[in-house]
Amino acid sequence: MRRRIAAVLFALLATQLGSLISPAYACGCGAMIPDRMARIGVDRETSVVRWDGRAEQIVMRFTVGGDAKRAAWIMPVPNRAAVELGDAAVFDQLATLTRPERKTRTHFWPRERDWPFSVGSRDGVGAPLPGAGAPAVGVVGRERLGDFDVARLTATDPDALRDWLRSNGFELPDRLSTELRPYVDQKWEYVAVRLAPREPGTPLRGTLDPLRIRFDSDRLVYPMRLSRMARTAQSLGLYVLADHRMEPSSPIGGDAPEVTFAGTVTPHGPLAGLTDGKPAFLTAIDQRFPEPGRIDGDHELRRTAADTPYRRAVYRDELLTAGGVPVWLLTAGGALAAVTAAGLAAGLRIRRTRGPRRAGA
């Protein structure tokens, strides 16, 4: 029995250690590849997409954790891309623009936190407001941007992409090579990024500088196929700036996308750089992927039937009062007084009907 227990404990320990050193290959719209025997995880990825019908811009920011001192990140793109550092203030502006509207609503009868039970209120979330001969891998550009060493690649063969990564110190997993095949078949290109901390020898942790990627596209597409390699549930937070309200044409294997904000905005400051200062329709979308292996393609977003605005509401519930006195108490008191008066009046009518009693009767 002791040997069996020891074997079970050893197996559990081996599983836990394996999970600690297993690399994370998927992160939203790309693939993250750490050094051998190192671990890196993308705790959060936030992206802003701007599409004007001809060109697409994606500004993304990663918050990473783990023990990897270097990592490579690969993102497929449909056309030749330009890469530069983004402005982190864009995300602060969007968080302000899309924050829920705070409202107050009243209820008539007291609840557990109202007088006479107790005093207080609670918040709740409200409902919506209604070529042949080309080299297998070609490096078309390379630059150092903040935390990143960026290479823009063309690749006609996943194996050649693996060779390029290997020559730069990274291993392309066999499964990732398979998942890249559809992009190669469509003649997409790649943005390949080497992540390294500014202080050599320290792990990659915390929020990295945002990257801004631009490419021509006659359709609004957000690469998601590589996320099917993730071993744990994934989530997507996406801000879309376009001429109209947009929606994914398919859930691509995840839960139904949830719109958390929709409305026309007039950008200013850093956000204006994405729209040239022109008004745009902002759609904020959240989506969960409980089983990443079911993801069957990239997100293609389309215009909705109507540009219906939407803003989440956070309600503060309060007891209905008049002059500081609960209305239910006034109503109950008034009803009680009315009932008492009616009873007294009925008693008087009965006594009058019977008349005065005679002596000896």
Q: What is the pLDDT of residues 57-73, one digit of tens each?
A: 999 887 777 777 777 78
172-178 contact pairs (CB < 8 A, 24+): 172/33, 173/25, 173/33, 175/25, 175/229, 176/25, 176/31, 176/33, 176/226, 176/229
How far is the C-alpha of 328 from the C-alpha of 260, rounded, in Å? 36
Band (pLDDT 50/70/90 cuts) for residue 357 is low
Return the higher-pLDDT residue of 254 and 158: 254
- What's the CA gap between 352 and 314, in Å, rounded? 60
Give the separation between CA 279 and CA 196, rounded to whole angstroms.
Answer: 37
Nearest to 50 by CA among 300, 273, 251, 299: 273
CB atoms < 10 A from the CB of 321, how many? 14
Report residue 126's pLDDT band, with 50, 70 and 90 as the boundaries.
very low
Of the listed ranges 78-87, 137-146, 262-271, 331-340, the least confidently predicted one is: 331-340
The mean pLDDT of 171-194, rounded to a whole number, is 80
State the pLDDT at residue 57: 94
Amino acid at 86: G
* Helix or strand holding residue 195 (H, E): strand 189-195
What is the rounded CA–CA span in Å between residue 93 and residue 267? 9
Cα distances from 251 to residues 114, 135, 257, 291, in angstroms, run 43, 36, 7, 12
Q: Is the pLDDT of residue 86 over 70?
A: yes
Confidence of residue 115 (pLDDT cuts 50, 70, 90): low
pLDDT grade, residue 128 (50/70/90)?
A: very low
**% of the chain beyond a pLDDT of 70:** 61
pLDDT at 29: 66
Q: What local confidence, expressed as pLDDT, does residue 54 receive?
A: 93
DSSP per residue over 91-138, as a string? HHHHHHHTPPEEEEEEESS--TTSTTT-----EEE-PPP--TTS-SEE
Confidence (pTM): 0.70
Alpha helices in the chain (DSSP H): 2-21, 89-97, 158-167, 174-185, 272-275, 327-354
User: What is the per-residue pLDDT for 14?
Assistant: 32
Tokens of 303: 């215009």
Residues 251-305: tens digit of each pLDDT: 999 999 999 999 999 988 888 989 988 999 999 999 988 898 899 989 999 999 9
Least confident of 35-39, 125-129, 313-317: 125-129
The closest of 182, 218, 198 to 76, measured between CA atoms, is 182
Angle between helices 158-167 and 174-185 (to 10 degrees): 130
Q: Which residue, among 143, 188, 136, has the nearest Cα to 164 in the 3D structure?
A: 136
pLDDT classification of 111: cutoffs 50, 70, 90: low
pLDDT of residue 239: 94
Residue 217 pLDDT: 93
Q: Residue 328: what pLDDT?
A: 63
Helix (H) or strand (E) holding 289, with range, is strand 280-289
Provide φ and ψ at 81, rounded to 5°. Answer: -110, 150
